[in-house]
Chains A and B, each alone.
Chain A
Amino acid sequence: MADGNNPAPPPAASPLQSHRYAIKSSAHNTAASRRREQAVAIGKERREALMRAKRVCRTPLSGSNESAIEDGDMVIDDEKEGLETRTAQAVQELKSSLSSQGKGAQKKKIEALRALRRLLSQSEVPPIEVAIKAGAVPLLVQFLSFGSSDEQLLETAWCLTNIAAGQPEETKTLLPALPLLIAHLGEKSSTLVAEQCAWAVGNVAGEGSDLRSTLLAQGALLPLARLMLSNKGSTARTAAWALSNLIKGPDPKAVNELIKIEGVLNAIIRDLEKADEELATEVAWVVVYLSALSEKAISLIVRSHVPQLLIARLLASENLQLLIPVLRGLGNLVAGDGYMVDSVLIVGHSITDQALSSLIKCLKSDNRVLRKEASWALSNIAAGSFEHKKLIFTSEATPLLIHLLTSAQFDIRKEAAYTLGNLCVVSAGSTDPPNIITEHLASIINGGALPGFVNLVRSADIESARLGLQFLELVMRGYPNGQGPALVERQDGIDAMERFQFHENEAMRNMANGLVDKYFGEDYGLE
């Protein structure tokens, strides 16, 4: 009965117990609630800013050079002109916003930056040139000064990212911005700012080796490498992408330094093992350049868990973006260090079977690059021990390779030919000609490979032609029961070889003439 003894007064029928708000009143009532509303609004603004940053347009990413989706909007001249006028205006706004100070000015700065960024990212043909001519770059450099708000840095870096994506001479105008962009990659920056700066740096690095050298000289490598160690997926991914652009070479110095940075190899392993495919893709590109340019790096990588992880990715994924760098990296490793075939891909170990299955999968792919890279990787494995050759020979790979040799594009045919050739011989020592594995040779010829090789002989490419000739020599020398020459003749091989009779390349000329003389000389056909 809590209510019983203290009854509430009856509701008054009279309505106006309280009067209206007096016009003459203290400021503090509204002031306090206004202040609290502002404090709450700031939080909302920051959420918005964070989401905007998350929604940065990601399309130009990835070393795979896949072009972004085009939405088919033609830029009409009028539109273009309007866009250019607006861009010049936006740069002017940017300039005037710099001269004001304080908090309202901060808002103005952000708005000016955002307006310019929109213009630079909206159209198919962004008005980069106009922006540069209007003087955007030096202004943007000022906006990168230390102590600026995160959102300001973010918008600025975004503008710079878009400019960096332009024509090479446009990208070069960014030189004055590079030191500050690199500075904001560091640990003191918020991850979003660092990520966006990595983006800009990545675009610049992608432009050419001169800009890469500049970036490296200014110390971009270490902070990017550290950024790649981040636990945050998008950050690691952007950093890896930018890194792969930065270390493309041709100077191997950057790669040699990168592999020495503590944690880098572990981060690569972590991401190849666990990360989503987008991140794994960018990391795989880093592996590609590491393994293409540095023996030191290869030697460390082949002794790590990386080969296993690349093979696993190759088997598990159907994503072309990912498969290409993974396969190329694996190919580089197989080609780059004998340890790979001798001590990692040991026949009888399951890793070797997985590697073979993954390569076979790629041979079957619709994608030309995958078929070619897989053939190339296989050719290097096929150059290994007799056991390796036997393993490949007895697998599904052989018929696939024969098929490629006879029907695929030229560059794939060549890689397939190398592999098939390697399957048929085993090294007999440094000086002697290789020993023929008769069983393999016969089976491959019977499988229909010979016309493919004869075609190679006809090729204008000397290397391919030599490959073809070498194989014909094997056939004529090693095919059981001396039936080789007849098989070659039946495939118009003689005609193909005689084309070299007066060839300008002496070695080829001698080789072809020697073979014709030896196998189709005076005694031919008498037996």
Chain B
Amino acid sequence: MDITQVLLAAQSADANLRAAAEANIKQFQEQNLPSFLLSLSAELSSDERPPESRRLAGIILKNSLDAKDSAQKELLIQQWVSLDPSVKLKIKDSLLVTLGSSVADARQTSSQVIAKVASIEIPRREWQDLIAKLLGNMTQQGASAPLKQATLEALGYVCEEIPPEHLVQDQVNAVLTAVVQGMNQTELSSEVRLAAVKALYNALDFAESNFANEMERTFIMKVICDTAVSKEEEIRQAAYECLVAIASTYYVHLSPYMQTIFNLTANAVKGDEEPVALQAVEFWSTICEEEIELQEEYEGSDDANSTVNYRFIEKALPSLVPMLLETLLKQEEDQEQDDNAWNISMSGGTCLGLIARTVGDAIVPLVMPFVEANITKPDWRCREAATFAFGSILDGPSLEKLAPLVQAGLDFLLNTMNDPNSQVKDTTAWTLGRVFELLHSPCSSNPIISNANLPRIMTVLLESSKDVPNVAEKVCGAIYFLAQGYEDAEAVSSLLTPYLPNVIAALLTAADRGDMTHIRLRSSAYEALNEIVRVSNIPETASIIGQLLQEIMRRLNLTFDRQIYTSGDKEKQSDLQALLCGVLQVIIQKLSSSDAKSIIAQTADQLMLLFLRVFACHSATVHEEAMLAIGALAYATGPDFVKYMPEFFKYLEAGLQNYEEYQVCSISVGVVGDICRALEDKILPFCDGIMTVLLKDLSNSQLNRSVKPPIFSCFGDIALAIGENFEKYLPYAMPMLQGAAELLVVLDQSDEDMVDYGNQLRRGIFEAYSGILQGIKGAKAQLMIPYAGHLLQFTEAVYKDSSRDESVTKAAVAVLGDLADTLGPISKDLFKSHLFHVEFLRECQDMDDEVRDTASWTQGMINQAIVS
């Protein structure tokens, strides 16, 4: 077989030729993998072959080493590892040779394949001479620029592919040496220098010990700072990207270089091309984030650790703030129309907001003169920048500092909603939203919003909701935050009641207006509506909400009549249905927890019919929002929900099996819980199906791990609902719980995410045990005896683990009580032989009310079991 011809045919325009070629390739691959891979690498390295076939050869080679799917990836890795060493050596040598090829495509592809091979071999302590060989490419006399560029790219990819711990210090040093050499200003090729800076970016994570060494660190920093003023824009940008990465990774080492960096960034922000200026601002945003995190971490403590916070922002404040305020005046025309717009004024405002959060009150006197000087200027850019600056600094400074300013300025802002320029109005509406979000607390002694100014605020907001879509969208946001302020203060939320009919009407109109073209307006309008419903004062607004319910149902019904021609139409229908189901969920939730429950009872049939139709529209996926709404409906209808189960069940089952969209799966699991609580033992006929899918989910390695803890909790929900009928699931469920408990032992405790996940998993496991124990309690309690020992061992292990959080503690304590409660005197010996509970319960006495409460109950249960 002529591999070149086949590879070319595989890219032919003729579908038949293509299919035949693909079949050929597949056959070759399956018949003789080593020879197949060798041919591909030979093809890639041969300058006599056409670039097209070389490129495809490289891609196939790469795809033979890596895949997105983790199981497939593992398989490919094993395949490569078990190849004959001589074959692998040949391929690798051929790849290294290709780095020097005259064809750019071949070089680049080869550098990627090298990184893939390295990611398999280097963690296995193989191909240890790769880095040295790559360094050799950089240092050999007369190395061509293309070879150096490809070599640096290969180094960058290698660093990107493998975790830092797999390179020994010598190798790291070699990488840095190669990179710094490439960055040297004497290097004539700008391509080589660019590749070097990009490689350095990837290598930074490896350079921990180099950064700890002052001499090496200063050298690296100097090279980067020099590079930041290169002639080529792209190289300057890459250099700043390195500085940004260093700001977050090596904050502790930055102090000596800050003056230099400040000067560099100030110049870049002022005069450099926008991509470079954006990175310069990004550097300061990153410093802010570091210092905010440090403050949060050491809040209230003056211990020595806090010296690590250099307060760079505070020190640079007098120069930093004016520099950023200048950027605000560089708006793009109509930037509000573009969802993905990102420019220097937007990043400047964002950075200003971060600075406000970092330094608090100190920013106010630096910003207010700018605001006052610009807010009435004839140039719209000045007015917009002034408002944006004001809106940006509302989060951070104290209420005392801001309240007088806001009290004085609110009326001005409301007037500005009539500004002739829509960008000014857009930013003003956003600023009003920020004011409501951050400073509006109706229960405070001197509230920003009172009976006196609420009528005017409402008039302006309702009027402005008719403005151009982007302004209207920000106005919806302002209404959303205005309503949210009443979240925990419904005593005063009846203040809103008189405005409710008009607000609802305005939001529905806004939603209609945004329907086809301004998706953001539509979403914001419906979310504002949701918030209005959520905080409304139910006795007096029940009938208004009842009418809204009818209207939303009508709207959902209309979505089924839409003409669907394209997948785009389908997506639009689906988005709108999601929003409407969201509103329905909020309304159901609101009414069912009040005296107005009957409204839901009367509409339940219609609602369910609508939700089922929503499901039917989407054969492949299950609608997340409809699922949530059904959960709320189940709670509202209680045992009556059983009549919907036969029809609903298939969609529930599909939702529980949606591995790709794991959020759908997760929400469906939650809905099973809702249904369990609603139906109690009436859920029994559906449990076989549900348990089967849940167990399958648990054994599925593709399913996002975050879904697994809720599945365990769901076992508990089911057991609580069906009681001793859970018996038949014990042989399946209990090994899963025990397996998960064992898995916890090997979780990486140094990884914060894993610690967090470990706690979720523990809570899930305990909730499962608790539910099952309480469910089975009674005549068949002895069924739980075989599992009691393991549970106690697991609980003891959790007790001894310092990473457990309070919710886990509570769940662990509770499960001990459940065990004693369910097994009674049978558990006597178990508790006597696992005495850790004595100390555990004693410790709980120093914890919060809920834990203490649970612990006392558990103590009582254990006493009873032991004494009887």
Q: Which residues of A contact B (CB under 8 A)?
A: 1, 3-5, 7, 10-11, 13-16, 19-24, 26-28, 31-32, 35-36, 39-40, 42-43, 46-47, 50-51, 54-55, 57-59, 69, 71, 99-106, 115, 118, 122, 147, 149, 190-191, 231-234, 274-276, 278-279
| Nearest-CB residue, chain A, relative to B234 | A14
User: What's the Cα separation between A325 and B583 when bound, in Å?
Assistant: 57
Taking CB atoms, residues of chain B closer than 8 Å to A4 are: 10, 22, 25, 56, 59-60, 63
The 4 residue pairs across chains A and B that have the minimum distance between CB atoms = A102-B490, A27-B477, A276-B779, A31-B527
User: What's the Cα separation between A11 and B60 when bound, in Å?
Assistant: 16
| Nearest-CB residue, chain B, relative to A147 | B595
Question: Is the beta-carbon distance between B349 and A118 smaller than 8 angstroms?
Answer: no
Interface pick from B84-92, B295-303, B855-863: B855-863
Given contacts A15-B241, A69-B860, contact A26 B537 (CB under 8 A): no
Q: Is B572 an interface residue (CB 8 A)?
A: no
Taking CB atoms and an 8 Å cut-off, the chain B residues in 49-108 that contact chain A are 56, 59-60, 63, 108
Closest CB in chain B relative to A367 CB, distance in Å: 15
| Nearest-CB residue, chain B, relative to A56 | B857
Taking CB atoms, residues of chain B closer than 8 Å to A42 are: 589, 632
User: What's the Cα separation between A23 and B720 when bound, in Å?
Assistant: 46
| Nearest-CB residue, chain B, relative to A274 | B779
Question: Is the beta-carbon distance between A26 and B523 smaller than 8 angstroms?
Answer: yes
Taking CB atoms, residues of chain A closer than 8 Å to B536 are: 102
Question: Is the beta-carbon distance between B346 and A55 smaller than 8 angstroms?
Answer: no
9 sample A-B contacts, Cβ–Cβ < 8 Å, listed by A number: A4-B25, A22-B347, A24-B349, A26-B523, A27-B524, A50-B720, A232-B723, A275-B778, A279-B778
Given contacts A100-B491, A102-B537, contact A20 B774 (CB under 8 A): no
Contact-residue bracket for chain B: 35 or more
Question: Is the beta-carbon distance between A23 and B350 smaller than 8 angstroms?
Answer: yes
Contact of A278 among B26, B670, B673, B778 (CB under 8 A): B778
Taking CB atoms, residues of chain B closer than 8 Å to A1 are: 10, 22, 25-26, 60
Contact of A26 among B524, B594, B867 (CB under 8 A): B524
Question: Is the beta-carbon distance between A122 and B856 smaller than 8 angstroms?
Answer: yes
Question: Is the beta-carbon distance between B490 and A40 smaller than 8 angstroms?
Answer: no
| Nearest-CB residue, chain A, relative to B25 | A1
Question: Is the beta-carbon distance between B857 and A57 smaller than 8 angstroms?
Answer: yes
User: What's the Cα separation between A103 and B595 when bound, in Å?
Assistant: 12
Q: Is B265 an interface residue (CB 8 A)?
A: no
Contact of B537 among A11, A99, A101, A274 (CB under 8 A): A101
Contact of A40 among B667, B859, B863 (CB under 8 A): B667
Q: Is B801 an interface residue (CB 8 A)?
A: no
Taking CB atoms, residues of chain B closer than 8 Å to A104 are: 487-490
Q: Is B808 an interface residue (CB 8 A)?
A: no
Question: Is the beta-carbon distance between A13 and B199 smaller than 8 angstroms?
Answer: yes
Closest CB in chain A relative to B190 CB, distance in Å: 15
Interface pick from B121-129, B553-561, B814-822: B814-822
Taking CB atoms, residues of chain A closer than 8 Å to B590 are: 103
Question: Is the beta-carbon distance between B59 and A7 smaller than 8 angstroms?
Answer: yes
Closest CB in chain B relative to A50 CB, distance in Å: 6
Closest CB in chain B relative to A62 CB, distance in Å: 12
Question: Is the beta-carbon distance between A55 and B857 smaller than 8 angstroms?
Answer: yes
Question: Is the beta-carbon distance between B388 and A24 smaller than 8 angstroms?
Answer: yes
Question: Is the beta-carbon distance between B593 and A233 smaller than 8 angstroms?
Answer: no
User: What's the Cα separation between A71 and B860 when bound, in Å?
Assistant: 8
User: What's the Cα separation between A59 and B535 when bound, in Å?
Assistant: 41
Question: Is the beta-carbon distance between B778 and A19 smaller than 8 angstroms?
Answer: no
User: What's the Cα separation between A36 and B624 when bound, in Å?
Assistant: 9
Q: Is B211 an interface residue (CB 8 A)?
A: no
Closest CB in chain A relative to B687 CB, distance in Å: 16
User: What's the Cα separation between A14 and B244 when bound, in Å?
Assistant: 12
Contact of B673 among A43, A191, A234, A279 (CB under 8 A): A43
Taking CB atoms, residues of chain A closer than 8 Å to B282 are: 16, 20
Closest CB in chain A relative to B50 CB, distance in Å: 16
Question: Is the beta-carbon distance between A47 and B713 smaller than 8 angstroms?
Answer: yes
Given contacts A13-B199, A15-B241, A51-B814, contact A105 B863 (CB under 8 A): no
User: What's the Cα separation between A239 and B723 when bound, in Å?
Assistant: 18
Contact of A233 among B108, B109, B195, B779 (CB under 8 A): B779
Closest CB in chain B relative to A73 CB, distance in Å: 10
Q: Is B342 an interface residue (CB 8 A)?
A: yes
Question: Is the beta-carbon distance between B853 and A54 smaller than 8 angstroms?
Answer: no
Given contacts A39-B628, A102-B490, A102-B491, contact A11 B723 (CB under 8 A): no
| Nearest-CB residue, chain B, relative to A19 | B342
| Nearest-CB residue, chain B, relative to A233 | B778
Question: Is the beta-carbon distance between A20 and B59 smaller than 8 angstroms?
Answer: no
Taking CB atoms, residues of chain B closer than 8 Å to A102 are: 490-491, 493, 535-538
Question: Is the beta-carbon distance between B859 and A71 smaller than 8 angstroms?
Answer: yes
Closest CB in chain A relative to B24 CB, distance in Å: 10
Q: Is B11 an interface residue (CB 8 A)?
A: yes
Question: Is the beta-carbon distance between A32 and B527 smaller than 8 angstroms?
Answer: yes
Q: Is B157 an interface residue (CB 8 A)?
A: yes
Taking CB atoms and an 8 Å cut-off, the chain B residues in 528-569 that contact chain A are 528, 530-531, 534-539
Q: Is B585 an interface residue (CB 8 A)?
A: yes
Interface pick from B603-611, B674-682, B693-701: B674-682
